[in-house]
Amino acid sequence: MNAAVTAPRSATTLDVAAIRRDFPILHQAVNGKPLVYLDNAASSQRPKSVIEAISRYYEHDHANVHRGVHTLSQRATDAYEGARETIRRFINARDTKEIVFVRGTTEAVNLVAQSFARPRFQPGDEILISALEHHANIVPWQLLREQIGAVLKVIPINEQGEVDFIEFQKLIGPRTRLLALAHVSNALGTIVPVEKFIKVARQHGVPVLLDGAQAIPHTPVDVQALGCDFYCFSSHKMLGPTGMGVLYGKRELLEAMPPWQGGGDMILSVSFEKTTFNQLPWKFEAGTPHIAGAIGLATAIDYLEKIGMDRIAAYEHELLEYATERLSQVPGLRIVGTAPDKAAVVSFMLDGIHPHDIGTILDTEGVAIRTGHHCAMPVMEFFKIPATARASMSFYNTREEIDRLVAALEHTRQVLG
């Protein structure tokens, strides 16, 4: 009966107790109960090393980048550009020129829509997305549709929450100019087998943008092996600061794209007659950037690499299997999104109890989950539900915390059942 005892022990050697000591925020009581943080798909927490790197930067090294001849400016520039190299290595891009700092995944997608797509797409040109996209990979394309008369086509999903590969092959055609696809679904956890989609897109000469916001914190990402043209991700979902993200783009594509914001740092020379734009990647980084954000993100990557992305993925997969098994035993609980290949996200419904009530009651038990449409309202529409409750795990979560979640759900059933 007690799955915690009968389930096989973790095969992955991850010293989770030691890891948890690195995350100060985890050690607190919420509503009188030890915090169980299971809202990692919305935003992860930060290890001490990231918090300290940001403090240290502001305490010792801060000045504006790319400008001053003085020591602090040089230190800030070295740290900022050093962060770019860390990120390049982390995702195996060829060149740091391919790493553009942005505010987050949302801004990265908007940049591609406005600077790559808008100047070159014609009315009637098609952009292909899937039905499980986050709003950040829907709305920028709808704006573009309004602006230039592009057509948005949507690859359907099935009841398991998988993107329909057969339908995709029917939808891609001579008018398709871009495939913009989530690597991992935030609402359901589906890992999209993007490699085979990219292969078909290649055969049609269609460039591919991947929304990697939910993938990159949980699995190794190699943009060259993937063969995608753009890869977008956010720092705050991978232990780094908020307001920071990355657009990876193939150099030849970025070179051909006009700047999308004008200002300082993105120029080489300015006169009232003519302005010469800066080179990549600075051409896309107008204004003083989020220097501390880049440093914090690079420190987060150092932390992730110290543990190892393969080990993180393996451990989280075990957590997902455990959570899926335990949650399936809760009477009246239905998991939404049952693709065989999933990241550590479990979206679920509890019979007769609205997700919002689940969220409130779990909070009084110290358990933080997300409830709502997860910025993926078309996904909710597909399953004919207004919202789900979603538990999303990270490598600092434990089986004991899953047990706490299950116990809190039992409590929810008692309160409202």
User: Which residues are the active-site residues?
Assistant: 375
- Contact between residue 210 and residue 226 where contact means Cβ atoms under 8 Å apart: yes
Q: Which of 52, 321, 357, 403 binds other proteins (CB under 8 A)?
A: 357
Contact between 386 and other proteins by CB under 8 A: the answer reads: yes
Which one, 120 or 356, has the nearer CB to other proteins? 356
SS3 annotation, 40-51: CCCCCCCCHHHH
How many residues belong to the site for other proteins (CB under 8 A)? 17
Q: Segment near other proteins (CB under 8 A), from 34-42, 47-55, 179-187, 357-365?
A: 357-365
Residue 214 CB, nearest approach to other proteins (Å): 21
DSSP structural state of residue 24 = G
Nearest CA among 188, 290, 184, 190 for reference residue 240: 290
149 torsion bin: left (phi>0), alpha (psi -120 to 50), beta (else): left
How many residues can be counted in the chain?
417
Q: Which of 372, 379, 392, 404 binds other proteins (CB under 8 A)?
A: 372
Residue 212 CB, nearest approach to other proteins (Å): 26
Contact between 355 and other proteins by CB under 8 A: the answer reads: yes
Burial class (CB in 10 A: 0-12, 13-18, 19+), 310: exposed
Contact between 142 and other proteins by CB under 8 A: the answer reads: no
Q: Which of 373, 399, 404, 413 binds other proteins (CB under 8 A)?
A: 373
What letter represents residue 147's amino acid?
Answer: Q
Q: Segment near other proteins (CB under 8 A), from 155-163, 240-248, 267-275, 353-361?
A: 353-361
Which one, 256 or 416, has the nearer CB to other proteins? 416
Q: Which of 255, 360, 407, 410 binds other proteins (CB under 8 A)?
A: 360
Alpha-carbon span 43 to 186, nearest angstrom: 11
Q: Which of 136, 353, 379, 391 binds other proteins (CB under 8 A)?
A: 353
Which one, 118 or 334, has the nearer CB to other proteins? 334
φ and ψ of 164, to 5 deg: -75, 105
Which one, 135 or 153, has the nearer CB to other proteins? 135
Contact between 415 and other proteins by CB under 8 A: the answer reads: yes
Which one, 31 or 328, has the nearer CB to other proteins? 31
Where in 103-203 does DSSP place strands (E)?
A: 126-130, 151-155, 176-182
- Contact between residue 314 and residue 320 where contact means Cβ atoms under 8 Å apart: no
- Contact between residue 96 and residue 84 where contact means Cβ atoms under 8 Å apart: yes
Residue 386 CB, nearest approach to other proteins (Å): 3
Contact between 309 and other proteins by CB under 8 A: the answer reads: no
Residue that the structure tokens 């299971």 belong to: 38
Contact between 354 and other proteins by CB under 8 A: the answer reads: yes
Contact between 387 and other proteins by CB under 8 A: the answer reads: yes
Contact between 34 and other proteins by CB under 8 A: the answer reads: no
What tokens does 70 get?
């003085």
Contact between 42 and other proteins by CB under 8 A: the answer reads: no
**Percentages of the chain per state (helix, strand, coil), in multiples of 5:** 45, 20, 40
Alpha-carbon span 339 to 86, nearest angstrom: 33
What tokens does 10 get?
């973790």
Half-sphere exposure (Cβ direction) of 57: Cα atoms closer than 13 Å: 28
Helix (H) or strand (E) holding 401: helix 399-416
Q: Segment near other proteins (CB under 8 A), from 98-106, 139-147, 238-246, 347-355?
A: 347-355
Q: Segment near other proteins (CB under 8 A), from 12-20, 79-87, 338-346, 379-387?
A: 379-387
Residue that the structure tokens 């910025």 belong to: 375
Which one, 31 or 122, has the nearer CB to other proteins? 31
Q: Which of 356, 400, 407, 410 binds other proteins (CB under 8 A)?
A: 356
By CB under 8 A, name the binding residues for other proteins: 31, 353-357, 360-361, 364, 371-373, 380, 386-387, 415-416
